A = this chain, B = another copy of it.
Amino acid sequence: MSDVVVKLVEKLGAEKVLQGADVKERHYHIWHMGEGLHAKAVTLPTSTEDVSTICRICTEHNQPIIVFGGLTNLVGSTETTGEEVIVSMERLNKIQEIDEVSRTMTVESGVILQHIQEAAKEKDLLFPLNFGAKGSAQIGGCISTNAGGLRVLKFGMTRALVLGVEAVLMDGRIISSMKKIIKDNSAYDLKQLFIGSEGTLGVITRAVLKLVEAPKSRNSAFLAFNDYEKLVSFMKFIDRGLAGALSGFEVIWRASYEVMTGPSAHNRPPIPHGYKYYVLVESLGADQEVDKLNLQGLIEQTILNGLAEDAVMADTESDLNWFWNIREDVKVLAEQGNVDQHFDVSAPINEMGSYVDQVEVQINELEGVHAAYPFGHLADGNIHFIVMKDHAEEPLKNRINDLVYNPLTELNGSVSAEHGIGLHKKKYLALCRSAEEIALMKTLKIAFDPAGLLNPGKVVDV
């Protein structure tokens, strides 16, 4: 047992420090990639003070740590070398308070997103953050990666939904800003530094989340377009017509739609194949029937105005689920080849149409590529590509990365709208952030974690 592990056991007790076979049984990703976890030890803190103790001891022993949440990260942020001590937040899983008047929830950082959603719902409130991995993702991970998802358009990224954060610095200091208030301009808003820095500046231990009154209606429609400019005109038209009720604007490009509603998929197509773009809109409101008629009226006008080629409203709850199951069935895309490569880029909306056209054509021309599937949150300027390939060889992988990422410099876009940089995107960071920005990031990293012990090698190198 190394000195640092001896010390951790001494201070925390053996039941909070896993070693040997207990470590090997675990994995660094929920998909159980690799043959078992490589790490010196896995610590299981049950309090902020435990986390502080772990950080202090590890700093004293110059021992790097990696924080584990729900392990659903897509950019290698939880990959280990074997030399790290893991801080797993799974036992920090208590919802401490729901304040129905301030509309806030105070939680420990290991609480699973879906549990937060359910607890809010019981009080007739909504925690709007929502994405596929909600059953595994922990709120601390959502905050440290500034997670996005399906309702950013109306409610914002995680950053907009966090009122307070408590974090532990690598030297053990506890930085607690746990206020249940929406507005606080009392000097620097330190929580902004912990949000989205992917666990490289501090370990998030608790948070105050912003809730909203639960919407009472949900309506959706599917539309088809052949012309990108008309699609964009429709986006403005429906956003204005719904005046703040528009909560989803998902675009599925033809190639993706035809698989997502094709013979191997679970869902029939609500609109026939053959159009260039399919758009799924959602509105959240207060009255199911009134809001449905309102959305229907706007969709009818869209057809009359010649903006859309075809459209269909979700008439029942089961239609709604049908429509959204299509969008959420990303898995069927990943079954179209041996190996997948995921992207979550962003660019100005008016550039996105031609950008996707170009990237799609170029990727499809590559040998070893089965298909490129574009879809995503267009009104946020953010789309995903899933590229299906025959093999995982580096040259093809790098070529695809170049085709997707390189144009973003000129478009002034981002190589990561949602997933973060982690380990895997570090070499592309300079395509969308300047040398001066990256240098300032390093200054920040050094100010918070001078020895570079916190999730080392992730996001920025120091």
Contacts and interface: CB of A to CB of B under 8 A. Distances in A.
Interface of A: 99-102, 104, 124, 145-146, 148, 152, 154, 156-157, 159-160, 169, 173-190, 192-193, 195-197, 212-217, 232, 235-236, 239-245, 284-286, 346-350, 377, 380-382, 412-421, 425, 429, 432-434, 436-441, 443-444, 446-448, 459-460
A156 B235 CA distance: 22
A190 B441 contact: yes
Contact of A414 (B176, B186, B217, B433): B186
Copy count, this protein chain: 2
Nearest to A243: B286
Given A236-B213, A243-B215, A349-B101, A417 B177 contact: no
A348 B381 contact: no
Nearest to A180: B348
Contacts of A425: 186
The 9 closest A-B pairs by CB, nearest first: A243-B286, A192-B192, A183-B417, A213-B240, A101-B350, A447-B447, A184-B414, A181-B346, A181-B381
Contacts of A421: 185-187
B285 A244 contact: yes
A348 B285 CA distance: 26
B101 A429 contact: no
A61 to B, nearest CB: 23
Contacts of A124: 240
B418 A183 contact: yes
A238 to B, nearest CB: 9
Given A240-B286, A440-B190, A348 B181 contact: yes
Contact of A187 (B240, B244, B429): B429
Among A156, A244, A286, the most chain B Cβ lie within 10 Å of the Cβ of: A244
Nearest to A428: B186
Contacts of A412: 178-181
A380 B183 contact: yes
Given A146-B185, A146-B189, A181-B413, 7 more contacts: A148-B185, A177-B437, A184-B346, A185-B417, A187-B429, A190-B441, A241-B286
Given A414-B181, A434-B176, A350 B197 contact: no
Nearest to A347: B181
Contacts of A241: 286
Contacts of A438: 187
Contacts of A245: 243-245
Contacts of A100: 236
Nearest to A179: B412
Contacts of A195: 189, 192
A58 B170 CA distance: 35
